[in-house]
Amino acid sequence: MPPYRDERVDSSDSKIIRWLKLDQFEPERAVSSYFVSSKTLFMIRIPLVLYSAIVMWADIIYSIQRNEIDHYFAYFTRFTFIGLHAYLVTTFCHHYRYLRCQPKHPASFLNQSSILNYLYVFLYHTIVTYNILTPTVYWALLSGVILNDEQATSVDWWVAVSLHGSTFLMMITEVIMSRMIIYKRMVVVVFCTVLTYMVLTFIIYASEKWWVYSFLDWSQGASCSIWYIAVAVSVILCFFLQLGIHALREKIGAKCHVVDDDETIMPTPSEEEKAYGIDKLKGSDDDSHLGQSPHPHQDEKRYYSQTLVESSLASHITLGASSTDHLAV
């Protein structure tokens, strides 16, 4: 298996961020796999991004044609799908920049704002959970609308299956093929996000006297409370199911030995490189007389990266020169 660095983002001063472990995010996990090379994973993601874009815009246009665009953002399914599409597009862009970087290094992640990295991790936790929850709830409770509709067109069926079936396949492909991990404490945020949506449904009902989903209607009596509890429990179960799937993938992946098709992955710094980087960084600070850097750990990390790039290029030049020695007379 290629020697991925799995370098973490900068640690946070926020107790909440540290408690949720959002600052333990290792960006290279998003653009690498245990089972295929990084380039192969990138190729796998191309049809996923294209298909999700087609479905999203087709759904928007179809909603406009049917005069249903006013309620487009009322459905949890749409939020879930937009989140999945946003994750796929964001990951695709970072993956492209990762492959363009020589040696390979997730610089686009590490150099962007920490808030964006935290949001990215949050987005991943939501899509892997909700794209199990949404198809399950739809086909178990709500699919009767289209199943019993004799006037349903092929477009209706395609949109329904894409939003409540294909999403699961796209999500599970990401889970299996990437090396992303999830954190147990994020179940709190994932659950609170669903509660926030439930509040939104009450606001919609208060303003339009219309329930987004029939099983949320309080006029059903005591049975309605059972559905509320069932949805809440389902969210937690889906999250911990994903936790088990990720653990199984990690266990299987640890036994795999995939040789990446590009051997220019930035190596893990040795102790000598670290010591050399620290000494030179301190020396440059003493010579500059400009005072201490406000972000010493970040400067140190950047210097390690620069040192490794230089050493990698030097090794490539050395190897290239040695390979042509036999041409000399």
Token pair of 227 as six digits? 């559905």
Q: pTM for this one? A: 0.78
Contact 141, 134 (CB under 8 A): no
Of residues 48, 239, 233, the one with CA closest to residue 128: 239
* Shared-domain flag, residues 152 and 190: yes
Give me the mean pLDDT over the 67-80 stretch. Answer: 92
Which of 17-21, 202-206, 282-286, 314-318 is predicted least confidently? Answer: 314-318
Find all residues with CB under 8 Å of 35, minimum gap 6, and list them: 176, 177, 253, 256, 258
Give me the mean pLDDT over the 188-200 stretch. Answer: 95
Residue 264 lies in a domain: no
Q: Which domain holds residue 295?
A: 272-323
Q: What is the pLDDT of residue 271?
A: 47
Rounded-to-10 torsion of CA 55, 59, 61, 62: 130
Residue 282 has φ and ψ, to the nearest 5°, of -65, -40
User: Using alpha carbons only, how large is the chain's radius of gyration in Å?
Assistant: 25
How far apart (Å, rounded) are the C-alpha atoms in residues 126 and 174?
13
**pLDDT band for position 129 (50/70/90)?**
very high
Q: What is the pLDDT of residue 64?
A: 94
Query: Which is higher by pLDDT, 219 or 324?
Result: 219
Residue 266 lies in a domain: no
Residue 237 lies in a domain: yes
Query: Which is higher by pLDDT, 285 or 201?
Result: 201
Q: What is the pLDDT of residue 288?
A: 47
Q: How is the chain split among helix, strand and coil, in percent rounded to 5?
A: 75, 0, 25
* Shared-domain flag, residues 246 and 281: no
Find all residues with CB under 8 Å of 269, minimum gap 6, and list them: 277, 304, 307, 308
Q: What percentage of the chain carries pLDDT values higher than 90?
A: 58
Q: What is the pLDDT of residue 265?
A: 52
Of residues 156, 5, 136, the one with CA closest to residue 77: 136
Token pair of 265 as six digits? 């992955």
* Shared-domain flag, residues 299 and 199: no
**Identity of the residue numbered 265:** I
Residue 2 lies in a domain: no
Residue 296 lies in a domain: yes
- Which of these three, 253, 285, 312, is where a domain ends? 253
**Each residue of 148-170: pLDDT tens digit?**
877 888 899 999 999 999 999 99
- Which of these three, 253, 287, 315, is where a domain ends? 253
Query: What mean pLDDT, rounded, does the chain reach?
Result: 82
Token pair of 279 as six digits? 């000494």
* Shared-domain flag, residues 176 and 40: yes
> Into how many domains does the chain fold?
2
Q: Which residues pair with 104 in a beta bridge?
A: 265
